Structure 1
């Protein structure tokens, strides 16, 4: 049986809590190596998987021919560089979001993917959760009537953790790079539409990073509003409002952590239906989808082109606010 043999570049908290456990649980995948200069941080990964190889540099891990897939959870400003290096080392790459700081930077990744035949993707896990597949099915079925308005909110408060890289402008911090990919990308995933114009932007900055942002877009057939914040109480919600009914995702981005995954569907006649998805790990699903694409030539649901489209929306928000 073929396996993907994963190496991880960087001993991030997210990697130890979510992605490496997912690799261990996913079929046809194994966690084989970690690159980290911190012995203390590496020790936590050894407890998780005692037989992993520990490298003190990223270059050493990339030179290991036994590793055929790499996960990159490095600071945002390092994503493109190390994704390129991993591709040139012959590795399939799953890179944390945002995979780039500007949409145009993804052009080089697409070029390298096309010339090498390697799978290169952003770790956009929500498209692997069945609640989003169901949301897409409902909206595109037309049962809600004409789609009029979509609203997405994602917030948390890390003001007490100013050392966090999300509060560091030099590391590519900010709410939009961190969580804007979810509010903005999810509407594109469900509707298969691209924004026609950006109508309004309001951003609050602290120390060079966006800590609150509101953006309003016109899509060809509906309006869309996104709110992201690193200075508000935790909240996650996405609503698709049609002429005949609406659906609301109550834990759209981090189910199991934020709240239980549910879609509430309510129609004009008062009927209501609730779709629940207890115990689903979108991270395990993501790793299995990645390995299925590599080993079994199945289509991976989040292409670099999709990621580039979402990053283009983030770019447009920052560009609009600076004019």
Structure 2
């Protein structure tokens, strides 16, 4: 039997406790070995489902541990690049929460460190591991909607908590970096296209955005999105071609926001709905990562693809704040 990939978690975030910690524990070929945190209360919450978990009080000590193969980084956004680089330098594979960097140019350092180390480093862009997105990508490549003419994405939720890191200066927060990565990255993944001219209207609150409306001209289709942390929860993606339409009704938080459904309309009065109840995209993400580490299987979301979504975020800030 193949030994499991042994994980260390750097930082005891709520998301790591509620979503990724359980996924790392549940995934085939994966085992959570240690957690680095100075908070005994946060450590105790992880022990509820990981009773044998070792607790390290020092992040660097976790990176030095010989019984750790891979590091999961759920730290605040502005710390991601630093700890991804440290993990690679320590000889560990690394999976980092999105956005893996605050600017596209920073990803170049990560690519260089990944390549020189021969290790896997990736952004935790879980949606590309969900079968609804793999199916959408397949249908678009097969020309199910004909020539793709327009893409519409929406991702909004309401969060005005001043203590939340998304709403604090200097933390790399705001809507575009938190959820814009999905509004942009999903389209890049599904179409393999890159945008030309972009326009944006942003509502800034200090150094972060609470509302963004972005348009872009791709080579063969137009694009429009609304991203906000000050609106009622909604998420949709629509691919509109000259012969049909694909709509994903829970594209980003499938199973939490709603059941994953792909609606396919290809002719007058012809409508097909494909559903994926019970799929955990976080578990699938971990299993894909472990398979890539163990067997060299190509990973579905590379740092080069990550750079593409961050370029769109950078450009949105450039044109939207001007």
Query: Which band: TM-score by shorter chain?
Result: over 0.9
Deviation at 1:245, TM superposition (A): 1.0
Corresponding position of 1:193: 193
Corresponding position of 2:278: 279
1:51-98: CA deviation from partner (whole Å, max 9, x where unpaired):
111011111111101101000000000000010001000000000000
Deviation at 1:207, TM superposition (A): 3.7
- 1:120 paired with 2:121, answer yes
Deviation at 1:195, TM superposition (A): 0.5
CA-based RMSD: 0.8
SS of the aligned residue for 1:98 comes to coil
1:177-201: CA deviation from partner (whole Å, max 9, x where unpaired):
0000000001110111011221x21
SS of the aligned residue for 1:51 comes to coil
CA distance in 2, matches of 1:47, 1:137: 40
- Structure 1 residue ranges, 4+ long, deviating more than 6 angstroms after superposition: none
Corresponding position of 1:299: 298
Deviation at 1:206, TM superposition (A): 2.2
Q: TM-score normalized by structure 2? A: 0.98
Deviation at 1:268, TM superposition (A): 3.3
Corresponding position of 2:238: 239
Q: Which structure 1 residue ranges, 5 or more long, are not aligned?
A: none
1:12-61: CA deviation from partner (whole Å, max 9, x where unpaired):
00001111111111111000000011111111011221111101111111
Contact 1:249 1:263 in 2 (8 A): yes
SS of the aligned residue for 2:170 comes to helix
Q: Which structure 2 residue ranges, 5 or more long, are not aligned?
A: none
Contact 2:239 2:245 in 1 (8 A): yes
Contact 2:292 2:298 in 1 (8 A): yes
Contact 1:148 1:243 in 2 (8 A): yes
Corresponding position of 2:319: 320
SS of the aligned residue for 1:169 comes to coil
Contact 1:2 1:295 in 2 (8 A): no
Corresponding position of 1:251: 250
1:220-265: CA deviation from partner (whole Å, max 9, x where unpaired):
0000011110000000000000111101100000011100100111
Corresponding position of 1:177: 177
Deviation at 1:279, TM superposition (A): 0.3
CA distance in 2, matches of 1:186, 1:116: 28
